[in-house]
Chain A
């Protein structure tokens, strides 16, 4: 079985500050890792994904994440946030793409203040 823990339920930051949203996972086998963003009253959309290869993954809207196998982490970062980044962020793992089941973390609410 796989599980995902998002270590912070709420992260308030000021505009133009850097931010890190933390995600740890557990799985006995290799996994694929994803970050999704949910803006208010919308569905989730993919920010970035790690499948293999380089451990630093770049996504949309200036976000990036680093896969750390030894620490089983996949933290999301942005060097300078905007008000428009205010949203719910979900980390997800899929054991293998053929299984068809993603496990989601409980979400982190990022609030960017002016």
Chain B
């Protein structure tokens, strides 16, 4: 039973298109994240939601818009895709608060290729 699942696993699209990636976690965590991993494997946090509230919003173009309908789901919508958006996008979850470990649980990633 997958703990953090994201769909689709692969996305190939043309520049200028709009695309969405969905993420769901069944761990009962209250915090979810989007990370971007580029071709050099560098990982950068993009967004974080805690109980549907945006708590981390790194310097990310406005074309990227996260949405959290409930604490188990965090979606990422990208408008007007550019070549530089090609990357692997990872969803992750954790439990915030005192006396917890802060360990992140990652999905398997969504590889986005913009042509």
Contacts of B104 in A (CB 8 A): 34, 36, 44, 46, 92, 102
Interface string of B26-69 (1 = CB under 8 A from A): 00000100000000111101001010000110000000000000
Q: What distance in Å separates the Cβ of A31 from its nearest Cβ neighbour in chain B?
A: 10
Contacts of A88 in B (CB 8 A): 41
Assembled-state Cα–Cα distance A107/B97 (Å): 27
Total contacts A-B at CB 8 Å: 65
Total residues of chain A contacting the partner, CB 8 A: 26
Query: Quick one: which of B40, B55, B103 contacts A34, CB cutoff 8 A?
Result: B103
Contact, CB under 8 Å: B31 / A100: yes
The winner among A97, A106, A109 for most chain B CB atoms within 10 A is: A97
Query: Quick one: which of A43, A90, A97 contacts B102, CB cutoff 8 A?
Result: A97
Contact, CB under 8 Å: B98 / A100: no
Contact, CB under 8 Å: B106 / A32: no
Q: Report if A100-B101 is in contact (Cβ < 8 Å); known contacts: A88-B41, A107-B41.
A: no
Chain A positions within 8 Å of B, measured between CB atoms, are 32, 34, 36, 38, 41-46, 49, 51, 88, 90, 92, 94, 96-98, 100-102, 104, 106-107, 109
